[in-house]
Amino acid sequence: QVQLEESGGGLVQAGGSLRLSCASSGPTFMSMAWFRQAPGKEREFVAQASRSGSKVFYGDYADSVKGRFTISRDNYKNTVSLQMNSLKPEDTAVYYCAAGPIYGSKSIDDYNVWGQGTQVTVSS
């Protein structure tokens, strides 16, 4: 059974940084992404990266994180990371790593393997 394991969440003050990492125990997926879910809200797309042969195509980011978050992917190590800078209280959520077969997708429905999530809390 393929598993995604996230790490790196925690508590940080507004303006601070955190780095999330996700490692896959399975094959190399076409797309790997980060989603997040805040209390009382639906899970939403954050960022994604797709592979093209041995290369990586970095797709779009959610408007709310553009310029602050950076996704990176290592096809050989089968990992994906999310560097989060200039964090805001509204970034507080459970962050999920996801993997799926659709190139460049931002749709939650196109991801069929999910990690258990890691909590990120940003204090004001």
Convert the pLDDT of each residue in 24-52 to its tens digit: 988 888 999 999 999 999 999 999 999 88
**Bridge partners (DSSP) listed for residue 120:** 10, 93
Find the length of the chain: 124
Task: Determine the Cα–Cα distance for residues 58 and 74; give it in Å rounded to an integer.
Answer: 12
pLDDT tens, residue by residue, 98-112? 999 999 999 999 999
Residue 64 has pLDDT above 80, yes or no: yes
Residue 119 has pLDDT above 80, yes or no: yes
Strand, coil or helix: 17: coil
Mean pLDDT, rounded, for 76-81: 91
pLDDT of res. 27: 80
Cβ neighbours of residue 63 under 8 Å, at least 6 residues apart? Answer: none
Task: Determine the Cα–Cα distance for residues 35 and 26; give it in Å rounded to an integer.
Answer: 20
Place of tokens 């799926």: 100
Averaged confidence pLDDT in the chain: 94
pLDDT of res. 56: 81
- Other Cβ atoms less than 10 A from the Cβ of 76: the count is 7
Amino acid identity at 29 = F
> Tokens standing for 48?
């994604």
25 or 10: which leads in pLDDT: 10
